[in-house]
Amino acid sequence: MIKELWVKETIYNLIDRTGMVDNFTFYKDYVVLKFKNLDSIKLKFEVCPYLSNSVIANIAGKKDEKPMILISKYVNPVIAEKLKEQGINYVDSAGNCLISSDGILIHISGNKNLERTSKKVEGYFNITDIKVAFALLAAPEIFNDNQRKIALYSKSALGPVNLSLRKLTAQKFIMKTAKGLMLTNKDRLFEKWCVSFSDKLLHKLHLGTFRGSIAKNGKNIDGLWGGDTGAYFLNKFIKSVTNEIFIKKNELKDFLLTNRLVKDPEGSIEIYDASWIDDDILERYRPVIHPFVIYAQLLSTGDQRNIEGAKLIYEKFIAEKLK
């Protein structure tokens, strides 16, 4: 699920920033951190994206004897001090952390909130990074073409694409070889993309909620099915509950008229913009949007049946592409 991917990405940031954590193993309720030249420690984790005094009090009140670590989006200096006073380990997406267990002590503070800072932060994925990563993973044949081709497929300007490629290289997702550039650590890049896409881009693509009737035979719409309807077309596992459709933004007006849809916040039809995806990639899985997008959508719901469906999609349509 998205929570699992986000936890992993937060710990990857910790590895990159400290240089002290060598690796980790993720389990359902805890993580095992392996330190360089030191023993490993097992920490039960709790995810709490946003912290307040009341949240800290609640966590402090239910601490058990097992060592635990709190995983959050951002821990500001005031909250960090209170966590320290309560003896609560933590790590956030910006790389701030307090880990004190079994004779190991790591304390990092002062890193700014990546969601608010305007600086170019190496580990942070902006919108262009998300689009470029998607294009490279979905259409790997463009990887060794010139940057203009990558810019075309990611629907991004050439300058920002160049910065994104440099960032991916710095994060060891792109490697220089004797035969040219090579995309590496693709499974980790895909995890990072899923989290970033769901957290930063998906809601910006939402064009509105509508009511009306649309046949789900895949032939009566000009758009592409996403969400659980798209998942049903891919593996017939999930019974479709929602109606999530991707179309190009400039086609929205005609689409609404043709299908007699009316904007209604209580409606059952969610429409998203597909303009950020190149036509070549868009057409590969018609009548559905690319499986990467459907997978990320299913995980973001947190629904257990959707998560099971996402795993099937991963095994059938995604895993082979990440080898």
Q: What is the pLDDT of residues 24-37, one digit of tens each?
A: 888 878 888 887 77
Between vectors from CA 206 to CA 203 and to CA 208, what angle results, nearest 5°? Answer: 135
- pLDDT tens readout for residues 192-221: 898 889 888 999 999 999 998 886 655 457
Residues 6+ apart with CB under 8 A from 219: 287
Q: Which residue ranges form the domains of the chain, and what is each CATH number?
A: 2-108 (no CATH), 128-184 (1.10.10.10), 202-322 (no CATH)
Q: Tell me, what's the pLDDT at 10?
A: 82
Contact 154, 131 (CB under 8 A): yes
Residues 244 and 297 sit within 8 Å (Cβ to Cβ): yes
Low-confidence residues of the chain: pLDDT under 50? 117-122, 219
Question: How confident is the model at residue 237, as a pLDDT?
Answer: 72
Which pLDDT belongs to residue 224?
A: 94
Q: Look at the chain and count its residues.
A: 323
CA-based Rg of the chain, rounded to a whole angstrom? 21
Per the omega criterion (within 30 degrees of 0), is the bond before 287 cis?
yes
Residue the block writes with tokens 């262009």: 128
For 240, counting Cβ atoms within 10 Å of its Cβ (0-12 exposed, 13-18 middle, 19+ buried), the class is middle
pTM, two decimals, is 0.70
**Amino acid letter at 274?**
A
Give the chain's largest Cα–Cα span.
Answer: 67
Q: Count the alpha carbons within 13 Å of 88 in the hemisphere toward its beta carbon.
A: 29
